[in-house]
Amino acid sequence: MPPRPRPVPTLRPPKVLPPGGGETLHVLDEVATFKVTAGDGQGAFSLVELDCPPGGGVPLHTHDVADHVLYVLEGTFALTLDGRRETVTPGACAMIPRGHAHGYANVGDARGRLLVIATPPASEERVFLELAAMLATGPDGSTELTSAIRLLGARHDLALPLAEQPPTDPPPAS
């Protein structure tokens, strides 16, 4: 029998969070609680708990670098994967390899909760922080916000197929 590999020393100590523990960010009516950050997971993965109001969720998007696992804790969600829509309830789990379009919406009557694991850790922490800052400074769904969200996506491995906004300048006269 070959010798067992020795554990690699870690730079971080173990961590236990109480219920509700972790850095929490509020973006619109969504709540993201970072249970395991990229730093905590030493670059291997991250774990985020998302709390969504009825009708809330994340629009279709893709990741070029990260694989995701979504696990439903509470509520009823419509999960769209590569154009196929499925209803998922507590205990459902979805594996979403990088490059596949996905999004979800809480279709229930009450708030719902999901756990999202990303490996390698996606940049959700920075995305939520930057999006919260954008919304706090005032853009309101205008072309300015759409452009800012596209730029944010480009910086953080997110392709967001947002609907195009109508042009602000009138078309040239013919």
Q: Are 95 and 74 in contact (CB under 8 A)?
A: no
* In the chain, where the domains are located: 23-122
pLDDT (0 to 100) of residue 3: 77
pLDDT (0 to 100) of residue 25: 83
pLDDT at 162 over 60: no
Contacts of 86 (CB under 8 A, 6+ apart): 78, 79, 80
How do residues 18-49 score in pLDDT, each as one tens digit?
Answer: 999 998 888 777 888 999 888 887 778 889 99
| CATH domain 23-122 topology | Jelly Rolls (2.60.120)
Task: Starting at the earlier edge strand, list the strands of the sheet with 102-106.
Answer: 57-61, 102-106, 77-81, 84-88
How do residues 44-69 score in pLDDT, each as one tens digit?
Answer: 888 999 999 999 888 888 888 889 99
pLDDT at 158 over 90: no
How do residues 83-130 score in pLDDT, each as one tens digit?
Answer: 899 999 999 999 999 999 898 999 999 999 999 998 887 655 555 555
Nearest to 48 by CA among 37, 62, 56, 57: 37
C-alpha 84: how far from chain center: 19
Query: What is this structure's pTM?
Result: 0.71
